[in-house]
Amino acid sequence: MPYLWFKAFHITGMVVWFAGLFYLVRLFVYHAEANEQPEPARGILQQQYQIMEKRLYRLITTPGMVLTVVMAIAMLITAPDLLKQPWLHVKLGLVALLMVYHHLCGTWMKQLAKGEFKFTGQQFRWLNEVPTVLLVVIVMLAIFKNNFPTSAAAWAIFGLIVAMAAIIQLYARKRRLDREKLAASTEATPEASAT
């Protein structure tokens, strides 16, 4: 019975962790794009994003990670034989990558707070796909375990997910370019925009 409690909170923690990671990097997108705004909008927006990012990272994302890992350790103490399972070894490798990404998010957050813009909004959008891929593969490992599907149909489903993510990115890029074009044409003909 305790095992099921640990598993329930393991999944709860993982949902909180991922919600935090996805929203955090989306805030980085807005934060980086705010840098292209004129003052005073730029300063006001960036200060607001900085506060939101810090709270999200400290109060949601990191506690989500801690809950996931603590509950996983509790499950492994209750059922130590799981440690012999090959699927779990692969999963642990991917979780290690996820933790590196989590740590990098903390580094990017500090850089943005200092006004260092190492990535554009578009680059942050692409980076936000890293946890998407890790999420799909880790959940599949947890569900299929040692029978991880490798058939053509499974690869087709995976390809579809990747294609959908790419389409969303390209659509966001198109909308941004359209916005920039509109802003440039409004600046070029101010009298036209006044009418």
User: Among 26, 91, 20, 85, which Cα is nearest to 59's?
Assistant: 20
**HSE-CB of 27 using CA atoms within 13 angstroms:** 25
Q: Is 70 in the site for ligand HEM (CB under 6 A)?
A: no
Q: Is 16 in the site for ligand HEM (CB under 6 A)?
A: no
Q: Is 76 in the site for ligand HEM (CB under 6 A)?
A: yes
Pick from 24, 105, 109, 138 the residue near ligand HEM by CB under 6 A.
138
Tokens of 108: 């990017």
> Smallest distance, Å, CB 112 to ligand HEM?
25
* Cα 54 from Cα 133, distance rounded (Å): 25
> Smallest distance, Å, CB 83 to ligand HEM?
8
CB nearer ligand HEM, residue 145 or residue 173: 145
Positions touching ligand HEM (CB under 6 A) are 7, 10-11, 14, 68-69, 72, 75-76, 82, 91-92, 95, 98, 135, 138-139, 142-143
